């Protein structure tokens, strides 16, 4: 008799703990996760066992048979859906936006992958060591520079920036640093210069500044420092509605919060959303609202940026001020450490930069207009003080007569676009030699 009272009571408590796990602090994040699901399931089993009493073994046997048949049916359905998706490739809407889908397509086309990341002091993240036929990253997280030399007396050049400088979806030989190294070999002779790719995916200019300081701290003494930044500063400011932030900051902050906050769907819902069966169902059911909603944006800005009364110009001014402050710090370091430097404002895709091809027009159509406006304001602010910051250069004019496609998205370029950038930077380095 006591067991028939205890089991349902324990089951109710477990169901309560599973459902309200977030509120009472039993869950590591928000949303309904795997652990909460199994706690609720165990609670339901205890409740049934308590009320069934001696009949529980028979009830359990029948329930197990039904559950096993259901699992087998779902596995068969998932296998069938997998075969369907092999024949008819679908885009799986598992939370990815159009940018992520396009990047996955680029990965399929190029055979390259996005490297895993690991924690590193001060900078938060860096690429893990990777060795592939077309992409190599060493144990320090540095992308391989092709055509480079190891001569001790060569001119040492450090290239910093985000994914555009790092070499998004291009092989080692077609990154801007590698193409720059090739051009310098041809102009100045092989062995005269050595370019190191210190860029990293997602870095803003402040992270590049810190990476430069760390390299100087280790005893490196470059002859030339190239900072290829600007657009990631804009993206980070738009994502966080604040200047002086990093890309993905909300997720990083959540790890340190006393009550972690989920930055996406719950793990259980995320698992269900990734099933091939769900993808097939979504593909077969038409979205009636898609025609009315218009194109989906590729970069998500903080919703507050679009609200009436939000001062986008003030955010742009603060973002530009931080970029210029980083310039001043590098300028001071260059005087004390004896290196030359240049800040290249990273080109991005906008309506007047070049004759747009159909693919570039499609990219621009699907971009967030708030981010484009923000980028315009930030770049205008930076260039307005050109006489105070003589080593800030823009290479946009070099693309004005390029008819072919050079942008693969809002800020990444094809190998041909990288060649244009490398040629221009090479000319800047060689102009006083």
61 pLDDT band (50/70/90 cuts)? Answer: confident
Domains of the chain: 1-89+248-288 (no CATH), 107-241+301-430 (3.40.50.1110)
Residue 294 has pLDDT above 50, yes or no: no
230-264: pLDDT as tens digits: 999 999 999 999 999 999 888 888 777 644 444 44
What is the sign, positive or negative, of the torsion defined by CA atoms of 308, 314, 317, 322?
negative
Q: How many CB atoms lie within 10 A of CB 123?
A: 17
The encoded tokens of residue 274 equal: 């990734």
Q: What's the confidence (pLDDT) of residue 295? A: 37
C-alpha dihedral over 289, 294, 300, 306, to 10 degrees?
-100
182-230: pLDDT as tens digits: 999 999 887 788 999 999 999 999 999 999 999 999 999 999 999 999 9
Distance CA 406, CA 424 (A): 15
Q: What's the confidence (pLDDT) of residue 389? A: 97
Residue 272 has pLDDT above 70, yes or no: no
| Contact (Cβ atoms closer than 8 angstroms) between residue 264 and residue 412 | no
Cα dist. 113→127, 133, 417 in Å?
A: 12, 11, 20
The encoded tokens of residue 101 equal: 């889908």
Q: pLDDT > 90: what percent of the chain?
A: 50
293 pLDDT band (50/70/90 cuts)? Answer: very low
Q: What's the confidence (pLDDT) of residue 259? A: 47
62 pLDDT band (50/70/90 cuts)? Answer: confident
Q: What's the confidence (pLDDT) of residue 111? A: 55
Residue 79 has pLDDT above 80, yes or no: no
298 pLDDT band (50/70/90 cuts)? Answer: very low
C-alpha dihedral over 44, 47, 53, 58, to 10 degrees?
-10
pLDDT higher for 24 or 338? Answer: 338
């Amino acid at each position: 008799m006591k067991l028939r009272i205890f089991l349902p009571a324990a089951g109710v408590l477990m169901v309560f703990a599973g459902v309200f796990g977030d509120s009472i602090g039993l869950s590591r994040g928000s949303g309904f996760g795997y652990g909460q699901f199994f706690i609720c399931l165990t609670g339901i089993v205890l409740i049934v066992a308590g009320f069934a009493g001696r009949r529980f073994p028979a009830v359990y046997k029948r329930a197990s048979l039904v559950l096993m048949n259901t699992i087998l049916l779902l596995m068969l359905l998932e296998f069938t859906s997998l075969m369907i998706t092999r024949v008819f490739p679908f885009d799986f809407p598992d939370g990815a936006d159009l940018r992520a889908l396009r990047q996955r397509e680029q990965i399929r086309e190029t055979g390259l992958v996005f490297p895993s990341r690991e924690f590193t002091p001060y900078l938060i993240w860096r690429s893990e060591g990777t060795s592939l036929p077309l992409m190599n990253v060493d144990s320090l997280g540095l992308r391989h520079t092709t055509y480079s030399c190891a001569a001790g007396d060569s001119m040492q050049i450090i290239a910093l920036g985000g994914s555009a400088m790092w070499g998004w979806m291009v092989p080692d030989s077609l990154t801007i640093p590698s193409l720059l190294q090739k051009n310098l070999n041809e102009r100045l002779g092989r062995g005269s210069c050595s370019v190191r790719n210190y860029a990293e995916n997602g870095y803003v200019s402040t992270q590049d500044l810190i990476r430069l300081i760390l390299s100087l701290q280790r005893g490196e003494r470059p002859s030339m420092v190239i900072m290829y930044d600007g657009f990631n500063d804009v993206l980070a400011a738009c994502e966080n509605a604040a200047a002086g932030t990093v890309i993905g900051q909300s997720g990083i902050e959540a790890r340190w919060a006393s009550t972690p906050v989920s930055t996406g769907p719950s793990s259980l819902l995320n698992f269900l959303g990734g099933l091939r069966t769900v993808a097939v169902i979504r593909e077969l059911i038409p979205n009636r609202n898609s025609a009315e909603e218009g194109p989906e944006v590729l970069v998500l800005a903080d919703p507050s940026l679009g609200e009436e009364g939000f001062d986008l110009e003030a955010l742009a001014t603060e973002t530009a001020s931080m970029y210029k402050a980083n310039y001043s710090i590098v300028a001071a370091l260059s005087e004390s450490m004896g290196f030359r430097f240049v800040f290249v404002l990273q080109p991005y895709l906008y309506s007047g930069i070049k004759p747009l091809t159909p693919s570039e027009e499609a990219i621009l159509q699907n971009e967030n207009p708030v981010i484009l406006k923000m980028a315009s304001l930030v770049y205008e602010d930076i260039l307005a003080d050109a006489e105070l910051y003589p080593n800030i250069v823009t290479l946009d004019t070099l693309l004005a007569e390029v008819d072919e496609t050079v942008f693969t998205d809002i800020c990444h370029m094809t190998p041909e676009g990288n060649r244009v950038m490398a040629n221009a930077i090479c000319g800047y380095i060689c102009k006083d030699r």
